[in-house]
Amino acid sequence: METEVKIQIPNYKNYKTLISLFAPYYVKTLYQRNNYFDGVSGELSDSRAVLLIRSYNNQSVRKCFICLKAKALLVNGVSRLEEDTEDIDPSTGQECVFDPTRLVDLSKSSRIMKRVKNEFFGGKIDGLGFKGLGGFKNMRKVYEWNGLKIEVDKSSYKFGTLYEIECESSEPEKAKELIEVFLKENGIEYSDSVASKFNIFRTGKLPKLVS
């Protein structure tokens, strides 16, 4: 179970101010590509599950993992969901992005894909079991601040750009209060996030700032 604070930043101006203030606590920047998949008959979405391949390409480092997310709940800027992640070979991940039917072959070796096969397809997947839904790019800046790991995301969709703070924590309400005090003290506009990045991608519309 993953629990994290999710706070939306309304525009580039506030985003630039935020990363400038966090600069002394900077750790690294991750350049991510998120690609999503479903069964051809909506087997995963019907069960409120999301299958994702995320690739990283930072200078000479290439990484890729496959992730299964389920039972997501986002209330008052705190997200709770079941998440299972597994590293895969980057070339294999790229093959699955270009040809989603390759996910069927991956179910023979991947722990997560075996779960998908058993939990959403009744233990059997035919050769055309999956379809690609597309995806988006995300630039993630990571900071260590006040004992928290802060991730500031710039997600680039075809229909616009989302700016968001994420912070995984076992005490999300306490972490959220610390972050909100910092934002208020520095005059940065913000709002509780009301939708996951995946749901925003699927609806094709950025959420409005909620006062």
**Cα-based distances in Å from 36 to 46, 85, 108, 157:** 15, 14, 20, 14
Count: domains in the chain: 1
pLDDT for the residue 58: 65
Give the angle 12-16-21 at the CA atoms, nearest 5°: 150
Per the structure block, which two tokens stand in for 106? 């991956």
Q: pTM of this prediction?
A: 0.92
Task: Tell whether 71 is covered by a domain.
Answer: yes
Residue 211 lies in a domain: no
Q: Rounded distance, CA 32 to CA 155, Å?
A: 9
Q: Which of 18-32, 104-118, 197-211 has the lowest mean pLDDT?
A: 197-211
The answer to the question of residue 172 being in a domain is: yes
Residue 93: the pLDDT is 93
CATH number at residue 38: 2.40.320.10
Q: Which of 6, 93, 8, 15 is nearest to 51 (CA)?
A: 93
In a domain, 210, yes or no: no
- The rounded percent of the chain whose pLDDT value lies above 70 is 96
- Is 63 inside a domain boundary? yes
Nearest alpha carbon to residue 196 among 18, 100, 75: 75
Give the range of the structural domain holding residue 154, as residue numbers without chain letter.
2-203
Q: What is the pLDDT of residues 44-69, one digit of tens each?
A: 999 999 999 999 876 556 899 999 99
Average pLDDT over residues 108-113: 93
Q: Tell me whether residue 209 is in a domain.
A: no
H or E stretch covering 39: strand 26-39
